């Protein structure tokens, strides 16, 4: 059965001086303010589509990596994953150019080499990575605690 999730955004006024709100309709993503300035300058407590994409990528990758570690017989005690998404001016427009995944893990019984190998596999197997593939450069940096 396919899972569907819905979010909603409302925008008022022009791009530069306007503002909006985004929320997940499940109740898991609270109503959060978004502005052009929070996207291109300082967040000032607001979010941006790129921050939401980074959250989606970090959480998706952590699940894919935990699954891969489990299949290898070395389930993690903890994975701490951050994703940094870059939004940059490219030519005449703006583009998401990179998503950098950084993972630190506490995984008993695994070597650093195997940990890095499975992290790389998770970075290509995660569905959000799949959605970004071919459009956004994805990198992964994995270290054991």
62-81 b/e (C-beta count within 10 Å ≥ 16 → b): bbbbbebbeebebebeebeb
Q: What is the value of pTM for the model shown? A: 0.94
Going along the chain from its start, the domains and CATH numbers come out as: 7-40 (no CATH), 49-144 (3.30.300.20)
Q: Which residue, among 86, 36, 80, 34, has the nearest Cα to 59 in the 3D structure?
A: 80
- Write out the H or E segment, with its range, that includes residue 34: strand 32-34
pLDDT, position 20: 95
Mean model confidence pLDDT for the chain: 95
pLDDT, position 86: 96
In this prediction, what percent of the chain has a pLDDT beyond 90? 87
pLDDT, position 133: 94
Q: Which residues of the chain have pLDDT under 50?
A: none
pLDDT, position 88: 95
Q: Which residue, among 29, 128, 144, has the nearest Cα to 80 in the 3D structure?
A: 144
């Amino acid at each position: 059965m396919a899972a569907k999730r819905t979010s909603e955004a409302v925008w008022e006024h022009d791009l530069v001086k306007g503002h909006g709100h985004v929320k997940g309709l499940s109740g898991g993503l609270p109503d959060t303010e978004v502005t052009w300035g929070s996207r291109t300058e300082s967040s000032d407590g607001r979010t941006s589509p790129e921050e939401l994409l980074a959250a989606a990528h970090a959480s998706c990758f952590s699940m894919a990596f935990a699954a891969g570690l489990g299949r290898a017989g070395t389930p993690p005690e903890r994975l701490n994953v951050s994703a940094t998404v870059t939004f940059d001016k490219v030519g005449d427009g703006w583009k998401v150019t990179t998503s950098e995944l950084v993972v630190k893990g506490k995984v008993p019984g695994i070597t650093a080499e195997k940990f890095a190998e499975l992290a790389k596999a998770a970075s290509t197997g995660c569905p959000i990575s799949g959605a970004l593939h071919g459009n956004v450069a994805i990198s992964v940096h994995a270290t054991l605690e």
